[in-house]
Amino acid sequence: MITTTTSRQLFARAITSIPGGVNSPVRAFKSVGADPLFISKASGSRIIDADGNEFIDYVGSWGPMILGHCHPQVVAAVKNAVEKGSSFGAPTELEIILAEMVIKAVPSIEMVRMVSSGTEATMSAIRLARGYTGKDKIIKFSGCYHGHADSLLVKAGSGAATFGVPDSPGVPGDFAKHTLTARFNDLASVRQLVSQNKDQVACIIVEPIAGNMGTVPPREGFLEGLRSICTEEGIILIFDEVMTGFRVAYGGAQELFGVTPDMTTLGKIIGGGLPVGAFGGKKEIMEKLSPAGGIYQAGTLSGNPLAMTAGIETLRLLQQKDFYTQLEEKSQLLAGGILTAAKAAGCPLYGTRVGSMFCAFFGTEEVHDWDSAAKCNTAAFAKYFRAMLEEGIYLAPSQFETAFMSAAHTLPEIERTIDAARKSFKSL
């Protein structure tokens, strides 16, 4: 058994001053029947807790750490930047550099605005879509998570799904009524909502690869179908690429699948581990944003120089030759190895993977939407999670999350992870 005395002491202390002891719900490890580990540091593929336990990390801060923790070039750039000042609340060249890099990487983005989180990005993109179209309703998908803004906390994935509170108290019914929910991978459910709400829908927001109900890839034709519906009906198509942007390809899921949204939201990787979000799209839409236009959006720390620096340096490193191919090869090896280990142990597992995002669902049925994801055996997942932790493998503490590979993970570490999975499946 790993020793967790210090983490337990810190947790006992934290719950008296921080609700639930954590600053974001899933971190509490509640759904996997464990106490959270308090982290003291991380490097490359490894994360080290307050008791000195070292784990191979497949959470990667929930996505941003695609290069691994503390990449020396990112660290050096941020150290250099902080010496010059950590926040000015005034424009800097760094913001232009990152904006230009994003625009070059994602052709559907003609202009972009930086914010400080994915939540702000989606919330602002929706306000802009509403302001631009003059319509109030939005369509989202059951099990997709777009941050915790009021109108998006309806049938949401990630922590909201893990804790079984898809509709949070505190969200006024008057807000939630404008949010219509369709089924992921089900175009008929979208068409029905669109025809029932003719000329009232401002936008459809979707995770092009769902990553917050576990990893659920889009079926062939799904994203293309959304594109056609939006074009025909004058609805703005928003790809929430907070997780997939710069993750599944340099140009995100839209590059991978060749489908062009009107607007895109970004976060995680473009901040290189510092707090960042961004939303962008067609110039015609983006220019409606204040102060160019009348739709308001602002932020004290937006375009923060440290975050911009970490993002710029990260994006530069992602441009290395074969970066995404190598990441995908390692992910394929690990995800495949885990499935083989489960099969050998007679443990029913359904695996999904797109690039370096992957998930092992505890069940045998195909998972293609929230209803099928929700059928998984979360109790078996919880046991697996705890067994893997004992083996030195740090996974996201919920069945409804995505695992991430980083460039820092090595082949021996992947072998070690598969070995750990083999032992864990046998112990279930």
Binding-site string for ligand PMP from residue 32 to residue 71, where x marks contact by CB under 6 A and - marks none: ------------------------------x---------
Decide whether 140 or 422 has the Cβ nearer to ligand PMP: 140
| Active-site residue, selected from the candidate residues 49, 268, 384, 394 | 268
Contacts (CB under 6 A) with ligand PMP, residues 133-192: 145-147, 158
Q: Active site includes 240?
A: yes
Least Å distance, CB 142 to ligand PMP, is: 14
146 or 422: CB nearest ligand PMP = 146
| In the complex, minimum distance from the CB of residue 428 to ligand PMP, in angstroms, rounded to a whole number | 28
Closest residue by beta carbon to ligand PMP? 118
The piece of 112-120, 226-234, 285-293, 361-369 that touches ligand PMP (CB under 6 A) is: 112-120
How many residues contact ligand PMP, by CB under 6 A?
A: 17
Least separation in angstroms between residue 265's CB and ligand PMP is 7
The stretch near ligand PMP (CB under 6 A) out of 2-10, 97-105, 117-125, 388-396 is 117-125
CA distance 144 to 215: 10
- Per the residue annotation, which of 145, 324, 350, 394 is the catalytic one? 145
Note whether 401 binds ligand PMP by CB under 6 A.
Answer: no
User: In this chain, which of 182, 243, 307, 396 binds ligand PMP, going by CB under 6 A?
Assistant: 243
**Per CB under 6 A, does 122 bind ligand PMP?**
yes
Closest separation in Å from C-beta 62 to ligand PMP: 5
Say whether 145 is catalytic: yes
Closest to 217 measured CA to CA, from 231, 206, 233, 201: 206
In 3D space, the residue among 217, 276, 274, 284 whose CA is nearest the CA of residue 244 turns out to be: 217
Contacts 24+ apart (CB under 8 A), 380-385: 380/347, 380/428, 381/32, 382/31, 382/32, 382/33, 383/427, 383/428, 384/424, 384/425, 384/428, 385/32, 385/34
- Name the one range near ligand PMP by CB under 6 A: 111-119, 191-199, 222-230, 374-382: 111-119
- Regarding 396 and contact with ligand PMP (CB under 6 A), the answer is no
Stretch that binds ligand PMP, among 168-176, 192-200, 213-221, 239-247 (CB under 6 A): 239-247
From the CB of residue 260, how many other CB atoms can be counted at a distance below 10 Å? 16
Site for ligand PMP in 273-312 (CB under 6 A): 277
- Asked if 356 interacts with ligand PMP (CB under 6 A), we say no
Binding segment (CB under 6 A) for ligand PMP, from list 113-121, 213-221, 229-237, 379-387: 113-121
36 vs 418 by CB, closer to ligand PMP: 36
Residue (122 or 302) nearer to ligand PMP, CB: 122
The C-alpha atoms of residue 159 and residue 401 are separated, in whole angstroms, by 9
* Torsion, Cα of 189, 193, 198, 200 (10° steps): -130
At its nearest, how many Å lie between ligand PMP and the CB of residue 422?
Answer: 30
- Indicate whether 267 belongs to the interface with ligand PMP (CB under 6 A): yes
Active site residue 57: no
The answer to whether residue 117 forms part of the interface with ligand PMP (CB under 6 A) is: yes
Decide: is 211 part of the binding site for ligand PMP (CB under 6 A).
Answer: yes
Q: Residues with catalytic annotation?
A: 145, 240, 268
Give the residues lining the site for ligand PMP (CB under 6 A). Answer: 62, 117-119, 122, 145-147, 158, 207, 211-212, 240, 242-243, 267, 277
